[in-house]
Structure 1
Amino acid sequence: MLVYQNFDTGNWEVLLNTAAQAKINLSNHPAADIHPRLNRGATHVLFASNRAGNFDLYVMKVDGSNLTQLTASAGDDVNPVWSPDGSKIAFESYRDGQPEIYVMNADGSNQTRLTVSPDFDGMPTWSPDGQTIAFSSRRTGGYRIYTMDAATGPTKFSDLHTLIAFLLHGHLRETLFILVLILIMIYGLMLYTYLRLIFIPLHKYLFQ
């Protein structure tokens, strides 16, 4: 089962591919629906939509029913991601004028800002044990990957060099770290580089 965003109709929609390869439009709305995430139990889909004005976060059952709005901030809320146990959601928010990392309960309650930076902090990803959040940041100039404690937020930052050291010395050895460098060409010659860390348990496969 796979959920993804699709622009075939000229509008961003959230689609579901079933085991039988059927394509189902889950969002089916004239607004833009983006960044879908399926929870671990494959029962609910989390996504961002601008159907109420700016981008907010929504959740629905995997059949498209029981749509619930989780955020309603003055700025865009995008790039949501479930915690491994499904109890928390980390996301990127522009509600304070610049992109920062927030975390909230799965029902939208207790929305808490974790990062404080004069520049971009976004694209969060959880570690398999739910204790660490990795994210992309431009706080030191160029885009780099940082990690922080999911509970204490900005009190424990470590950059990519520290992360590699952890890996080489056996820390977090239950996890395979894959660094993905995505180059996106926007507005002609302007190139944006996004660094994102993906945590994948060693006993899982990328392709099945």
Structure 2
Amino acid sequence: MNQDSIQAIVKEVVERLSTQAESGNTTVPMAISARHCHLSKEDVEALFGKGYELTIRSELSQPGQFAANETISIAGPRGSIEKVRILGPARSMTQVEVSQTDSIRLGPKVPLRISGDIAGSAPITIIGPKGSLYKKEGCIVARAHIHMTPKDARAFNVRDGEWVRVTVEGERPVTFEKIMIRVSDRYKLEMHIDTDEANTGLIFPGQEGIIKKYGENHD
């Protein structure tokens, strides 16, 4: 690809973003996250054997992320859930994400948290084919959030860490409050909700929500 072609593509992208901002387009595609687990490399080996590496079942929408072929079971004081999908690649810390409905089944009070905020969260036992782990913390109900790139953030006039509300119109209209914006060059524009939230609004993957900044009049 020559320099003129590259410049033409860059110009087209910039114009598209400018048009989006000027037109007030604030829609974001929805993605629905079922219960899943992120594992540290150390915990992958504890559950599957020394030197074990996760294998790719399917690529996820967020760049570089994948659903692994491997699954684990999770257990709480009241019950357990089998075949919980592991998402890769391995991370620096282990985190189990469940819905509120799942937490009732497991037993402990699982806090609502932004992904990554596991300090003081619920304990969980993770069971694999070669071993099991008891984690004193690490189980959360993930708070709904929006992934976007810095260019998206400029187009939508939002910043990393900002709270917004998102309205989804359809057969069962619903507005989600306190949705955090998460900005990174590694992200793709997408709002993540769990299965409970999707069921509340009869939301399907790819359906769009409307971002509304707090303090703005959208009536």
TM-score range, shorter chain: under 0.3
Per residue, is there more strand in 1 or in 2? 1
Per residue, is there more helix in 1 or in 2? 2
> Normalized against structure 2, the TM-score is what?
0.26
